[in-house]
Amino acid sequence: MFNKQVMLSLALALSAASSTPFAAEPAKSVFLLLPARVFDVVDGKTHDGWKVLVEGDRIVAVGANVTAPPNAQVVDLAGTTLMPGMIEGHGHLFLHPYNETSWDDQVLHESLALRTARAVVHANTTLQAGFTTVRDLGTEGAGYADVGLKAAINQNIVPGPRLSIATLAIVALGSYGPKGFEPGVAIPQGAEEASGVDAVVAAARRQIGAGADWVKLYADYRWGPGEDSRPTMSFDEIKAAVAAAHDAGRLVAVHAQTPEGMRRAIEAGADTIEHGSGGTPEIFAAMAKRQMAFCPTLAASDSIARYRGWTGNEPMPPAVALARTSFQMALKAKVPMCMGGDVGVFAHGNNAREMELMVEGGMSPANVLIAATSGNARAFTLDKQVGAVRPGLLADLIAVEGDPTVDIASVRKIRMVMKGGVRVR
């Protein structure tokens, strides 16, 4: 009797697992998608009457004269713009908004199980919002849990975007947080501390060996509460970590908000700079010369200011104004722009807030769409897989109501999300 009950329970569990919504359609389905228009990242324009044929997990044909085989499922997307699935360039799936729980309390008081459960929900929320790929730049005290989350998504255990992960991030010894406790007492940190070339390289290799796709370094930070950011990692430390990452085929993102921190990251050969609010025309010219992508994270400073009472009507708080000024300098210098808002500081699923702020800062809607698709794909070396509506690429596609090249807020009006040829919304 016991064995029969066990077998029955297993059969019911397997049946339930096989009927999950995000895996409902067979992998080899054929779809003919019929939107009002398709956004082409090559010319930054929409093309009326284009159709898209998807077979299995790939796009096989795009254009006005596409014909479909008899077994194709026709998907009527009247009134929508079809575009590549968007790519979140700077996210933290293991964080939730700071006006709900402070960063310190998330790191110190929320259990790993709780944070992982939140991250699973955040991943699905992000996917439903049309972001089919996420570069997650650190678990902020949740260890290597992003490695497991990525595996769970890849194995179709839970729904979520494609993840490119940085695991713990690396900070200079004594520079990060949480802080404010008895000196000398070991406090759980939001990143891995290292000091000296050998230790920084060892940390980078340790993280890569554990599953990191990116090595994230902090070139500068605030040594104490109320202080300005200052360089915390030496040029030699950054350069050695970059060399170790590149040897392993990984890319390097550098948190840098001071001119000197940014200069060290550029000269060391890093791949992207995050935040960069202290950038100068000379710094951005150097980035443009190297075609080094910049992720301004405008939505982070905007959100923190709003948590502190700013409504958006008063004059901009200094941090918000500084972030916008640096963004505009980078635009003028023609620096390749990454679209990433530091989501996690604000709510997952609200990723489009960064896109709206980029438009407010002077970038055209079409160029913001390019940054959020092919631009991020190119900067993250994913452009042979995703980032465009082009035959041969993975069928990561979204349909939005209206025309986002006219009104960027249209990217919030999601009609369909397809990831790898499977409709997940």
Please state, in angstroms and rounded to a whole number, the distance separating the CA atoms of residues 128 and 125: 5
Residues 287 and 348 in one domain: yes
Residues 111 and 199 in one domain: yes
Phi, psi dihedrals of residue 83, rounded to the nearest 5°: -150, 170
Residues 242 and 176 in one domain: yes
Structural domain includes residue 278: yes
Please state, in angstroms and rounded to a whole number, the distance separating the CA atoms of residues 92 and 98: 12
DSSP secondary structure string, 63-114? ETT----TTPEEEEEEEEEEEEPEEEEEE-TT---TTTS-HHHHHHHS-HHH
Contacts of 198 (CB under 8 A, 6+ apart): none
Residue 286: its pLDDT value, please?
98
Q: Quick one: which of 164, 161, 84, 150 has its CA closest to 126?
A: 161
Residues 347 and 407 in one domain: no
CB 62 within 8 A of CB 108: no
Residue positions counted in the chain? 425
Please tell me whether residue 188 adopts helix, strand or coil conformation. coil
Contacts of 154 (CB under 8 A, 6+ apart): none
Each of the 425 residues of the chain gets a pLDDT tens digit; together they read 334 443 444 344 434 444 444 444 444 799 999 999 999 999 999 999 999 999 999 999 999 999 999 999 999 999 999 999 999 999 999 999 999 999 999 999 999 999 999 999 999 999 999 999 999 999 999 999 999 999 999 999 999 999 999 999 999 999 999 999 999 899 999 999 999 999 999 999 999 999 999 999 999 999 988 899 999 999 999 999 999 999 999 999 999 999 999 999 999 999 999 999 999 999 999 999 999 999 999 999 999 999 999 999 999 999 999 999 999 999 999 999 999 999 999 999 999 999 999 999 999 999 999 999 999 999 999 999 999 999 999 999 999 999 999 999 999 999 999 999 999 99
Structural domain includes residue 4: no
Please state, in angstroms and rounded to a whole number, the distance separating the CA atoms of residues 34 and 264: 49
Please tell me whether residue 380 adopts helix, strand or coil conformation. coil
User: Which residue range is the domain that position 404 belongs to?
Assistant: 13-84+388-423
The total number of structural domains in the chain stands at: 2
What's the CA angle centered on 123, arms 402 and 255, to 5 degrees? 95
Which domain CATH number covers 69?
2.30.40.10
Residue 388 corresponds to which tokens in the numbers above? 């465009």
Residues 118 and 174 in one domain: yes
Residues 71 and 140 in one domain: no
Which domain CATH number covers 183?
3.20.20.140
Rg (CA), the chain: 22
Residue 201: its pLDDT value, please?
98
Residue 364 corresponds to which tokens in the numbers above? 């055209």
Read off the pTM. 0.93
Q: Quick one: which of 345, 391, 346, 396 has its CA closest to 372?
A: 396
CB 120 within 8 A of CB 147: no
CB 277 within 8 A of CB 319: yes
Residue 21: its pLDDT value, please?
46
Residue 3: its pLDDT value, please?
45
Contacts of 317 (CB under 8 A, 6+ apart): 301, 305, 308, 310
Residues 145 and 220 in one domain: yes
Residue 80 corresponds to which tokens in the numbers above? 């929508």
Structural domain includes residue 200: yes
Residues 57 and 185 in one domain: no
